[in-house]
Structure 1
Amino acid sequence: ALSKPVHRLKVFLAKYLGSLLFMFIQVALFTLLVFVALRWRVGTWNPTVLWMVPLSVLVFSYLYGVVVLVNVITRSTLAGIMVALLVWFMSFVMNLVEANLYTYAYTEAGEELPEIQETLKPWYHASRYAYSVIPKTKQTMEYGDRMIKVSGRQGFSTEDFTGLLM
């Protein structure tokens, strides 16, 4: 028996930080395996791969924050997971919508469609506002892809990490 009960906030933060630590350990181990495999495959040590550890934990914290929020409100684990999957999917869809609306509203140089471009500009601004609330999972991982540089002594050289994996 505890002489002083633990505050709910401390329990909540301990569970949240424990989950982030659990994710960190998994990602760190996998990234170290990739680090060694790249040495074997490419021929050089590539410490930029280690950028994926904090970025993956950051993406996990986005989605796990949604899970925790929904769990606290509804007391349903399944609802938390489903809403997190929905937010992840919405992040992907909103990224595509925002990028395409920007392309059609501002950068379509070859077409002479000023009236359509003017009608798309308010939609683009509305999509930017809607997109500003959703976690940027895709951009975070794309940032990691830009941080990783791959080149080796065995004739393989690319600036795109995903090109190495394909």
Structure 2
Amino acid sequence: MASQLNNWRLLSTTLLLLLLSLHLVSVTASLESQARSLLHWKSTFHSRQFLESWNLSSNPCNWTGVTCNLTDRGRPVVTEISLPNMTLEGPLDALNFSSLRSLVSLDLSYNQLDGIVPPTISALSNLVYLDLTGNRFTGKLPIEIGSMKALQFLYLNKNQSLEDFTS
């Protein structure tokens, strides 16, 4: 009887550890996919001097300008990216917004980002604050921004020739 009880305890402990391991793997994979998206975007910049901390050997939550918070399930996710005045030069459309759905604040003001503001930015459905002031964006603001229901603060002034979607 004691032998069966010990076997049951060992089995239940093993199952608990296995479930915990699977949960940790899924947490890491999610944060890892966010990190890979940000690293891909970084690779498109002409100058990367201020983003040296952005690498796979460090936790993205410790990267320059990146803030993480825990979800209600205890999973770390990137919630803020704040990179004003970093002399970032390159496109915004190289960023995979769909991997950053927990983002609530994005400040890329006073850089040298160029090209268009991509329609895929609307994948940031939890975004409350977006500041793209003082860059080199051109073209029309994508109409998809209108579907971003959480967005409360939108700053786009001082860009090259950015038009709103009503023009």
Q: What is the TM-score when the length of structure 1 is the normalising length?
A: 0.34
Relative contact order, higher structure (CA 8 A, sep 6+): 1
Q: What is the TM-score when the length of structure 2 is the normalising length?
A: 0.34
Q: Report which of the two has the higher share of strand.
A: 2
